[in-house]
Amino acid sequence: MGSQDDMTHIVAGNTAPDFSLKSLDQKEYSLRALLERGPVVAAFFKISCPVCQFTFPFLERLHQRYGSSSATFLGISQDDPRATKSFASEYGVTFPLVLDSDGYPVSNAYGLTNVPTIFLIEPDGKVKLSSMGFDKKDLETIAAQLAERRKIALAPLFRPDEVVPANKPG
């Protein structure tokens, strides 16, 4: 993928590039269509990335608490279908995973330099939050935004018995 200097990295306030990718079951997911239902949490990952492996169970926890009624969660894999399916099974991911593995056109459109990279995209297509690597505060911000959207009390994302660093670079 190129250096950050020669790519436009999508950040908060930017318009998210539209995309249409197929899931493991060959269902087509279009960002534009998903945004008609509400915000989208789009998380780019590679199955071999240890920080992705650490982050995705917390994204699944967010999905279980706030998904469907307040946001659509979408994992965007840079790997093949078989490896992606294995990743979902191993890390308990139940939200849809789509494939960006053939030349990474969507990853490149978003200017990714690292994974995981997570975007909270508002229904108007604007990026509300862009987060690279694992960032505890960013995940808590996503949780707060989604709880507010559903008008429900914010539940702690991290349990007191979990050792969770403030961040882990991707």
Structural fold of domain 4-19+29-152: Glutaredoxin (3.40.30)
> pLDDT tens, 81-127?
999 999 999 999 999 999 997 899 999 999 999 999 999 999 999 99
Residues of the chain falling short of pLDDT 50: 1-6
pLDDT given for residue 9 in this prediction: 83
pLDDT given for residue 170 in this prediction: 84
Other CB atoms within a 10 A radius of the CB of residue 93 amount to 21
User: Among all chains, which residue has been given the structure tokens 């780019």?
Assistant: 44
DSSP string, the chain: ---GGGS----TTSBPPP-EEEBTTS-EEEHHHHHTTS-EEEEEE-TT-HHHHHHHHHHHHHHHHHBTTTBEEEEEESS-HHHHHHHHHHHT--S-EEE--SS-HHHHHTT--SSSEEEEE-TTSBEEEEEESEEHHHHHHHHHHHHHHHT-PPPPSS-TT----SEE--
Could you tell me which of 49, 2, 84, 48 has the C-alpha nearest to residue 169?
49
pLDDT given for residue 8 in this prediction: 60
